[in-house]
Amino acid sequence: MKKIILILLLMLPLALFAQERPTVEQLFSVKTVKVKEELLSHTKKNYGYVVADEARIYDVTPRFGGFVEKLYANKIYTYVKKGEPLVTLYSPEVYKAKEDYLNSYTYTKVRNNKGMLKSAKLKLELLGLSQKEIDTVLKEKRVSRYTTIYAPVSGYIFVKNILQGSAFNAKKKLFEIVNLDEVWVETKIFEDDVAWIKNADDFTLNFKTTPKIYKTKSKLLYPNLDPKEATLTMRLRLKNEDNTLFPGMYANIISKDKAQRYLTLPQSAVIHKDGKYYVFMVGEYEGEYEPIEVNVKQFDNQTYIILNGLSANDEVVNNALFMMDSDAQINGLY
């Protein structure tokens, strides 16, 4: 490819011929920049929202029917701790099973029949009674008419299907308790970004409701594509021990891939013409610049990644647009 030599004398007033001829750089401020090798990470911004972790949602569903005697968790969205009483109830089925267990224990004192005692205890366990209540039957040698259901985990009551004095049947869900010590944030990923997001390993999230910045590396891409939006759902897991985040909150998500080494130039040093990209490399002589075709990829609004055509420390014109107005364009050299 021909080299471009900027001839500037024709543009100078005659009075300047009597003086020492200025250089191209002095006249036109032709600044140059070197190709850098940098360690860079790509970033993308998305929006998402908090959802509860399905593995931390618990249904309280008795295996027997009964009647509510005292309702402790009487308000929805109440926070309960693991082991706290939710409701005390009377169940004819449970009452009879406890009597059978006590009678079996009394019988085995006279006649050794451990199988019958074991079977009676198993029935109570299958009905879902706590070990503490089962042990109380033998400890106190009497049967209470009432049974208490305790919170299996700490969390918020998102569903409450009973009232004081309610009757219920077996298999009815009385409560749904949601533990928010860990939550998910879901966001939509366009199909074109899927290959890139698979290499992303660092996610920073922030929310309007708290100044805290959350970071995570735990992600999961759902293996199904929404055909209407051409998007996949990505799930990020966040620690939330202080229960600051609640389902439905919106999140700003910055995704970053693994850092890699790239050859870079500022965007101003690269010019796009006729479907190709060019830079103007500094020639051997002062004021000499050679247009070089390069293969580039945009990194951000200020930087190009050089895929081929240049090496580290190669020197090029920092303002390629200036060269577009030079004799090189006029003469059709590129």
pLDDT band at residue 29, thresholds of 50, 70 and 90?
low
- Give the C-alpha separation, 293 to 277, whole Å: 6
| Stronger pLDDT, 172 or 16, i.e. the higher one | 172
**pLDDT for residue 111 is more than 90:** no
CB 279 within 8 A of CB 310: yes
Tell me how far CA of residue 277 lies from CA of 262, 264, 266, 293, in angstroms: 17, 14, 13, 6
pLDDT band at residue 20, thresholds of 50, 70 and 90?
very low
DSSP structure class, residue 83 = T
**pLDDT for residue 44 is more than 80:** yes
- Tens of pLDDT along 247-295? 999 999 999 888 888 899 998 889 888 889 998 888 777 777 888 899 9
- Average pLDDT of the chain to the nearest whole number: 86
- Tens of pLDDT along 217-242? 999 999 998 888 889 999 999 999 99
Q: Which of 147-161, 190-204, 320-334 has the lowest mean pLDDT?
A: 320-334
**pLDDT for residue 11 is more than 80:** no
Query: Three-state SS for 40?
Result: strand
Element (H, E) at 138: helix 131-140
Contacts of 254 (CB under 8 A, 6+ apart): 43, 44, 45, 203, 204, 205
Q: Determine if the pTM surpasses 0.75.
A: no
pLDDT of the residue at 64: 96
Q: Which tokens go with 292?
A: 């070089």
Average pLDDT over residues 65-73: 97
Alpha helices in 224-309 (DSSP H): none
**pLDDT for residue 304 is more than 50:** yes
| Stronger pLDDT, 174 or 26, i.e. the higher one | 174
- Tens of pLDDT along 246-258? 999 999 999 988 8
